[in-house]
Structure 1
Amino acid sequence: MGKKITLSVIKADVGGFVGHSSVHPELLETARGVLAGSPLLIDFHVTHVGDDINLIMTHENGKDNGSIHQLAWDTFLSCTGVAKKLKLYGAGQDLLSDAFSGNVKGMGPGVAELEFEERGSEPVIVFMADKTEPGAWNLPLYKMFADPFNTIGLVIDPKMHKGFLFEIRDLIENKKVTFSCPEELYDMLVFIGATGRYVVKSVFQKETNEIVATSSTQRLNLMAGRYVGKDDPVLLVRCQSGFPAVGEALEPFANPHLVSGWMRGSHSGPLMPVPVAMSNPTRFDGPPRVAALGFQLCGGKLLGPQDFFADPSYDLARQKANEIANYIRRMGPFEPHRLHLNEMEYTTLPDVSKRLKDRFEKLRLS
């Protein structure tokens, strides 16, 4: 048995440039400097999507490793110091504590980690989203691993034909359940269609129980008890050789679906696939963006990235996303553009409800 590699992607918004649209180059350079000085890592890549810094790291320390999480925390703290010096907006907003407690989970940053033995060829995709929440991955993951109209390998690849296991998290009651697909597909859809509460955490190959994909499921407002922005999740997907091909993993984003987030984290909008250079959401602080970086792993080294959505074949998806954005923006503060009331509890809604509660009169039943 060979040595296992851990791919850790940890992200945080520690200051926007300008507003919530992007990351100042000095923050990215600061992050690279901190990671370059660490003996813990085999390799790393620092990038961003919108105003979120994404630390992509490989090492041999396993998932939930305190030293790796401490390194990420220290990196974000260093970046926060620069953000404050530059008077960037929302400096340190994703860091919900002043002191590291051994693991960044529950402290603000988003985390997705895969631990596996490298295959003969190990292509991975790091999906990174801005101005949305973890439930944004539900539909793409369903398409990648359960929809034969998207992933023909489910029909014609003997290694995929038996399907996959989906681990679903209930973010409200902090529970999990695993569904075996395709036989439990309809049961699973009952839950993952409710993207604000139930999210796909991980996907496993059924026969080997090997992990194929995992996402960050942290919800900032649930951790902070107040509105602090959407969660801007990441998703890691291993490809080829019994897993979806690279093209099958990317295909769900060719048709932009509606996700929660956008302006003030309070609106529905299309998830637009973009290269990193176009991942700076400005229209109504959006529309929500997704970037996809491909790496070939070789002894833990990150060969790449290939910026997949720089491909012109996604031009029509971007055009459609803009058309959807035009349509839904005309609805302004009305649902379904504005999120349902149960998603608005950390905005002005509680204050207004409290102030006006005595003006609501009870109706008599006639």
Structure 2
Amino acid sequence: MGKNITLSVIKADIGGFVGHSSVHPGLLEKARGMLSGHPLLIDAHVTHVGDDLNLIMTHEGGRNNGEVHQLAWDVFQACTEVAKKMKLYGAGQDLLSDAFSGNIKGMGPGVAEMQFEERASEPVVIFMADKTEPGAWNLPLYKIFADPFNTAGLVIDPKMHNGFNFEVRDLIKNRKVVFSCPEDLYDMLVFIGAPGRYCIKRVFHRDTGDICAASSTQRLNLMAGRYIGKDDPVLIVRCQSGFPAVGEVLEPFAHPHLVSGWMRGSHSGPLMPVGLEQCNPTRFDGPPRVVALGFQLADGKLHGPQDFFADPSYDRARETANAVAEYMRSMGPFEPHRLHLDEMEYTTLPEVSKKLKERFIDLRK
């Protein structure tokens, strides 16, 4: 029997360097110092994508563990103080409260967690995105766990042939539904094709019930009641031995898809797969980026990371993303580059609508 492990990935934007492009090395150093050797943790890795600080932690406390969440909150608070001293942009913007309330969920930072029994070999991929929202994972997760054109194992691996269960969250009405695929595939696509509202939260193996993937689904503007940026989600995917192979998990990102976010969280653009050395978005604060780090878990220790998208085989994907970005930027303030009006409610739209209210003439009278 393997060790029972909880893998927690918790992220927050607590100050950009410079603007919204990156994280200052001082913040990374502060976070590493606070997590290194901490008695609550088995292991930890601190990294960033764009202006988001990402904490990757293993422990035995289970999901939603108050002490682990408190530790992450303390790290973000301490890093916020460093950011304020440096006058970094948006210092502490993802922290929606001054006091921890027992669980970090609903307080601003994004959280993806899963608890499982370690297998004889336990490879995991941790995806981290910047300048986009949780729905950005919908298309890749569909391809990874439900599309045989992406994942050959769905056809030829007896351990995967029966499919997977998808837990989908309705972020507006705060409810969930589980789809069993392939039977429920068409029904599921009705919902996950609207990623601004419906997001795949978790994926489970149908035969064993084992957790396969877990994402963050926090939407900052819904929690705060105002626009404070997109949510820059994280995703954990377990690989191999009855789960999709590492190559099948990475393959969807070879074809950049359009996601919401980019400049001021108000534009559509391609999700560009990049290595850590290229994860600082600059063109129009973008385009949106995704980093994939691979770890081999052994008794909770994080061996890695392997920086998957630094591979030159993703150069064509980056070229495609740049071409799509050029095309989308040419539309300026027009949809579909600018998000549709429902997604603009936390920008200047309400103020402009209020100002012009009396100038609109009702043609039905």
TM bucket, shorter chain: over 0.9
CA distance in 1, matches of 2:126, 2:170: 23
User: Could you say what the CA RMSD is over the residues aligned between the two structures, in angstroms?
Assistant: 0.7
TM-score (norm 1): 0.99
User: Superposition pairs for residues 153-168 of structure 1, below 5 Å?
Assistant: 153-168=153-168
Shift of residue 289, structure 1, vs aligned partner: 0.1
Q: Which residue of 2 aligns with 1:344?
A: 344
Q: Which residue of 2 aligns with 1:252?
A: 252
1:321-358, Cα deviation, whole Å (9 max, x unpaired): 00000001000000000000000000000011111111
Q: Which residue of 2 aligns with 1:105?
A: 105
CA distance in 1, matches of 2:65, 2:261: 30
Q: Which residue of 2 aligns with 1:10?
A: 10
Runs of 4+ in 1 over 6 A off after TM superposition: none
1:287 and 2:287 are equivalent in the alignment: yes
CA distance in 1, matches of 2:87, 2:343: 30
- SS of equivalent residue, structure 1 residue 26: helix
CA distance in 2, matches of 1:249, 1:148: 12
Q: Which residue of 2 aligns with 1:142?
A: 142
Shift of residue 364, structure 1, vs aligned partner: 3.2
User: Superposition pairs for residues 178-327 of structure 1, below 5 Å?
Assistant: 178-327=178-327
- SS of equivalent residue, structure 1 residue 327: helix
- SS of equivalent residue, structure 1 residue 136: helix
1:33-72, Cα deviation, whole Å (9 max, x unpaired): 1111521000000000000000000000000000000000
Summarize the Cα distance change of 1:235–1:36 in structure 2 as closer, same or farther, 3 Å threshold: same
CA distance in 2, matches of 1:315, 1:108: 34
For the 8 Å contact 2:3–2:299, the answer to whether it is kept is: no
For the 8 Å contact 2:31–2:79, the answer to whether it is kept is: yes
1:54 and 2:54 are equivalent in the alignment: yes
CA distance in 2, matches of 1:175, 1:265: 24
Question: Which residue type is aligned with residue 49 of structure 2?
Answer: V
For the 8 Å contact 2:6–2:60, the answer to whether it is kept is: yes
Shift of residue 3, structure 1, vs aligned partner: 3.6
- SS of equivalent residue, structure 1 residue 223: helix
1:189-210, Cα deviation, whole Å (9 max, x unpaired): 0000000000000000001111
1:43 and 2:46 are equivalent in the alignment: no
Q: Which runs of 5+ in 2 are unaligned?
A: none
CA distance in 1, matches of 2:22, 2:144: 29
CA distance in 1, matches of 2:241, 2:360: 62
CA distance in 2, matches of 1:181, 1:236: 20
TM-score (norm 2): 0.99
1:200-237, Cα deviation, whole Å (9 max, x unpaired): 00000001111000000000000000000000000000
Q: Which residue of 2 aligns with 1:121?
A: 121
Q: Which residue of 1 aligns with 2:92?
A: 92
Question: Which residue type is aligned with residue 278 of structure 1?
Answer: Q
CA distance in 2, matches of 1:224, 1:137: 22
- SS of equivalent residue, structure 2 residue 78: helix
CA distance in 1, matches of 2:353, 2:360: 10
CA distance in 1, matches of 2:314, 2:148: 21
1:302-334, Cα deviation, whole Å (9 max, x unpaired): 000000000000000000000000001000000
Q: Which residue of 1 aligns with 2:357?
A: 357
CA distance in 1, matches of 2:104, 2:302: 23
Question: Which residue type is aligned with residue 307 of structure 1?
Answer: D
Shift of residue 276, structure 1, vs aligned partner: 1.0
For the 8 Å contact 2:220–2:228, the answer to whether it is kept is: yes
CA distance in 1, matches of 2:81, 2:259: 32
- SS of equivalent residue, structure 1 residue 200: strand
For the 8 Å contact 2:127–2:236, the answer to whether it is kept is: yes
Shift of residue 2, structure 1, vs aligned partner: 4.4
Question: Which residue type is aligned with residue 274 of structure 1?
Answer: V
Shift of residue 117, structure 1, vs aligned partner: 0.3
Shift of residue 277, structure 1, vs aligned partner: 1.2
Question: Which residue type is aligned with residue 173 of structure 1?
Answer: K
